[in-house]
Structure 1
């Protein structure tokens, strides 16, 4: 029998906290809901495999812009906007 890879919400919080600790991030630096919403919108608007790629690109763009929470929100919003228009032409 294989182990399930689906995480309950509290495990996702634990994983996020572990990432934050490992990389010296502040508590608010990992906006779980924002990133999950991005992944959902990209998966539905483009394709499922595009979701992790898009999350990476949003993080890269936010980091290059300065890495503030506002930079993250702006980068995510831009990716989501593009995903929502993707099949509209």
Structure 2
């Protein structure tokens, strides 16, 4: 079933836990706040469409490094650093 109704904030953890389980991942290592911060920084400093794609790359980098919580944190920090230093585009 498809809906255009956004997910309420209180349901976010439930959704992520269900998706993680469905994908065979450990939901306990998902730093939701950190990943949302990365998405925000990329969306505001690079481009909105770059946010989900950047989180995909963060996930790939973390998995390649070993997939631990520390790997997710390191990949997130690298993405945030790059996004915050990204040159502003002319408007």
Bin for the TM-score computed over the shorter chain: 0.7 to 0.9
> How many residues end up aligned between the 2 structures?
86
Are 1:36 and 2:29 counterparts? Answer: no
Alignment gaps of 5+ in structure 1:
none
**2:5, 2:44 → 1: CA distance?**
21
**Stretches of 4+ aligned residues off by more than 4 angstroms:** none
Alignment of 1:1-89 (within 5 A): 4-87=4-87
Shift of 1:43: 0.3
Gaps of 5+ in 2: none
Task: Please identify which structure carries the higher helix content.
Answer: 1
Shift of 1:25: 2.1
Question: How large is the RMSD of aligned CA atoms in angstroms?
Answer: 1.4
Give the 3-state SS of the residue equivalent to 1:86 in structure 2: coil
